[in-house]
Structure 1
Amino acid sequence: MLEHLNIKNLVVVEELNMEFKFGMTVITGETGAGKSILVQALNIVSGGRSDASLVRNGMAKAEITASFNILSNIKLKLYLEDQDLDNDNECILRRVIASDGKSRSYVNGRKVPLSVLSDIGSYLIDMHGQNEHQLLLRNSHHQILLDDFSGSQALCDEVNAAYGNYHDVKSKLEALSAESSLLSSQKDLLMHQLEELNQAQINVEELNNIEDDYKASVNSSQLVEKISKILNSLNEDYGVNNILIESESELEQSKELDSRLNGIRELIASAQVQVQESVYDLTDYLSKISNQEDNLTQLSERITLLHGLGRKHNCQITELVDVQKSLEE
């Protein structure tokens, strides 16, 4: 219900304050007395069109304020709460029109877009006449008027509830479908990753040794040179091995003269055995490392493949077997 209307500098009105009481209010007057200006003010304050010609001559702006009691207007109260514009049981609309034609809209002291003011105005004012505010001319109100006339509001609520349930179920089905599609894609990805690891034919021993094998292959020339030098120093005619053999033989003869030398002889004999074993191991290593250079390209390709799989699974190459087992499970 409209309780108060204030008009400033609108057309020919300098300032007008009107209080409205409960019940019907009739405004009468001669032609040109200003009745239409009151209607026009209500039209503007509820979101209607405005322009610079409405501002009183010589004034910077026109201002219209209307105060409504909305105690029984439940729909509007819900709308205001939804827009964070609620003010208990009162709704104050305000429209300011500048002399350049621009306007600002306010609801309960807060600036709002004109569309919001127009929506709120439709809950408060129903103008009947040759103007654009007639509810009968608004397509959005035809269904409401028809439902009210037929008394089918309960059926409308039932249909709305059924549609709401349908929309919820539809949303859940779409979410489940999307989740199923995602799970299917994830499964395909995991199967692809497992197939890659299976094709790579990885094993623990290779993963633990390939880094050392590759490093040895890259440096095989230097290793052959150094190992050959060591073998020569150990196993040539005057090498360490022969010196130990001769020393052990001399001590074997000398212990007959002094038994205390036997302990030293045993130490030298043990050293000679270890040197001889080292010679065998180094000779075997040299044989293998000599062929490593030929495998460098193959090792390089292999280690590139393994590092690529490691980056893909965010792990060290020595952990690829664990990743493979995890995917298989």
Structure 2
Amino acid sequence: MLNQIQVRDFAIIDRLEIDLETGLTALTGETGAGKSILLDALGLCLGDRADTAMVANDAERSEVHVRFDVSDTPAARHWLGEEGLDEDDECLLRRVIHRNGRSQAWINGRPATRAQLEALGEYLVGVHGQHAHQALMRADNQRRSLDGFAGNLAERDRLASAYAGLRAVDDEIERLSGGHEDHQDRMDLLRYQLEELEAEALEADALHALEQEHRRLAGAEDILNACHTSLAMLYEGETTAQSIIAQAERSLEPHTDADQALAEACDLLANGQVQIEEACQSLRHFADRLEMDPQRLEEIDQKISRINDLARKHHTEPEALTGLAAALRDELEALENADTRLADLQQQRQALVADYHQAAAALSATRQTAAAALEERVNALLAELGMGGAALLIRLEYNADGEPGPNGLDRVGFDVRTNPDQPAAPLSKVASGGELSRIGLALEVATADTAELPTLIFDEADTGIGGAVAEVVGRKLRELAGHHQVLCITHLPQVAAQAHHQLQIEKQQNPDGRTVTDVQPLDTEARTRELARMLGGVEITDNTLSHAREMLERAG
């Protein structure tokens, strides 16, 4: 759900911070107070295009921050995880617009693109009205709404599995189905590359041993000098570490019975002499075996150089060459047996196509059944919402000969007839903003127990209605708020009275004389006064206030 919106220097909004809660929240205020501007600010963090006109006149940039709780939104959490942008159960979105036209975006503190904001926004918020994010008019969202209502997850999983198998087989067939000359050229290249790699490539351990031998031979003279110098300092020189330690031991030995600490120190000095003798023996043995071998050094030098050249040629690390050789060997073997493999793949494909069509037909059957039930439920709600002559018609076209796709062989479309004497047409072509909001409300209420979006926003859901129908719209929004967080911009007191929370948006003059928008949460008494204002009249009378209180009590 949407927890918080912070806006700074956006249009006529100076600075604003709104904390939002669960349930139904009504946003009310005079026309032009900035209610839709608030939605525009939110839309920026959901991927809308930036416009420098949004930057306040006396500012260099606008900033919008929004915070979501995604603990109950698995689709959003999955998307964030896939993109490497997850941050526990919280999702922070930030958008900045500069006056020079530059726009920046962040998701959980990490830089993001507008396309990423837009993709994530589809899992977080649904907006109904004449503003952006009218997901209702998109065919893929219409299909998802129908599938959610149908509860056909098992059928969709079966189809997805069949489609994934079919894609994998088709991809392999495509790789193996090139022209004969292409195959022969590729096999010749693979054989040449394998010959090179098998002659030079070493396993990681062998390569490490070769590099170690190279370091030893390249530094043989310096190593020998270091060994001889160390032997002289430790044991073989005029004044050595061994002789100094032995002298110290002899000096302390007569006094060891005076204190146990002295005895322990003498023992350690004796052990030190033994350690030095053993170290010197190791140094002598190593120095005796170490040889100057320029010819071997040159051989190793050339070998390592050839390995590094091969690694650069194949754009990989020297240690990965043996793995690359194995992969090329597998590819060559597959190409050499392409004809046999292709015959097997074609048989597999026939079986997978049959599985896919069975799964697509079963999925389509669930959609057909659900479409009739959803139409009936939505049309009954439209009648309650003052659109008695309107009807939603779900168009489902099954193409058995169609190209297999991840969503089946159906084309799903939502058509609407707004008046009985008019033909049905696609939703986007016949519905006005107010009608679209009410159709969206009816769909959301009808699918409330199956829809995944945590937050729904209704703008202009009350356009062109009033009286009893307005009260019904408010009740339906309140009903919907039992399953989702719902925000509603409204001018009707009948709708606002049904809200669990109410925010008043108003224009004010700041100390500098600039007109700015402010938002205030209303308590019960303030809500009563605001509802009384919305009920109309130049003067708010006791009767108007009484009516407003009655509306709140009845809604509660």
TM-score by length of structure 2 reads 0.32
Q: Distance in 2 between matches of 1:187 and 1:86?
A: 44
1:32-51 paired onto structure 2 within 5 Å: 32-51=32-51
Q: Distance in 1 between matches of 2:174 and 2:36?
A: 55
Distance 1:123 1:183, change over 3 A: closer
Q: Which runs of 4+ in 1 moved over 6 A?
A: 178-189
Distance 1:180 1:84, change over 3 A: farther
Secondary structure at the aligned position of 2:40 is classed as helix
Q: Is the 8 A contact 2:9 2:15 kept in 1?
A: yes
* Matched AA of 1:169: V
2:136 corresponds to 1:136:
yes
Q: Distance in 1 between matches of 2:121 and 2:185?
A: 52
1:227-268 CA distance string (max 9 Å, x none): xxxxxxxxxxxxxxxxxxxxxxxxxxxxxxxxxxxxxxxxxx
Q: Is the 8 A contact 1:94 1:106 kept in 2?
A: yes
In the other structure, the counterpart of 1:271 is none
Q: Distance in 1 between matches of 2:117 and 2:59?
A: 24
1:171-202 CA distance string (max 9 Å, x none): 3444555699887679999xxxxxxxxxxxxx
In the other structure, the counterpart of 2:52 is 52
In the other structure, the counterpart of 1:288 is none
Q: Distance in 2 between matches of 1:113 and 1:46?
A: 11
In the other structure, the counterpart of 1:28 is 28
Distance 1:181 1:11, change over 3 A: same
In the other structure, the counterpart of 1:113 is 113
In the other structure, the counterpart of 1:99 is 99
Distance 1:53 1:185, change over 3 A: closer
Q: Is the 8 A contact 2:47 2:114 kept in 1?
A: yes
2:2 corresponds to 1:5:
no
* Matched AA of 1:45: C
Higher-RCO chain (CA-CA 8 Å, sequence separation at least 6) = 2
In the other structure, the counterpart of 2:158 is 158
Long gaps (5+) in structure 2: 190-556
Q: Distance in 2 between matches of 1:88 and 1:152?
A: 30
1:59-98 paired onto structure 2 within 5 Å: 59-98=59-98
* Matched AA of 1:126: G
| Corresponding pairs, count | 189
Q: Distance in 2 between matches of 1:159 and 1:101?
A: 45
Distance 1:82 1:179, change over 3 A: farther
Q: Is the 8 A contact 2:5 2:17 kept in 1?
A: yes
Long gaps (5+) in structure 1: 190-329
Distance 1:16 1:181, change over 3 A: same
* Matched AA of 1:24: L
- Say which structure is richer in strand: 2
Secondary structure at the aligned position of 1:104 is classed as strand
Secondary structure at the aligned position of 2:28 is classed as coil
What is the root-mean-square deviation in Å for CA atoms of aligned residues? 2.5
In the other structure, the counterpart of 1:126 is 126
1:160-179 paired onto structure 2 within 5 Å: 160-175=160-175
Alignment identity in percent?
35
Q: Distance in 2 between matches of 1:126 and 1:183?
A: 51
Question: Displacement, 1:21?
Answer: 1.7
Q: Distance in 2 between matches of 1:57 and 1:168?
A: 56
- Say which structure is richer in helix: 1
Distance 1:12 1:188, change over 3 A: closer
Distance 1:57 1:160, change over 3 A: same
Distance 1:180 1:161, change over 3 A: farther
Q: Distance in 2 between matches of 1:80 and 1:15?
A: 29
Question: Displacement, 1:73?
Answer: 1.1
Q: Distance in 2 between matches of 1:171 and 1:85?
A: 31
Distance 1:118 1:183, change over 3 A: closer
Q: Is the 8 A contact 1:51 1:102 kept in 2?
A: no
* Matched AA of 1:122: E
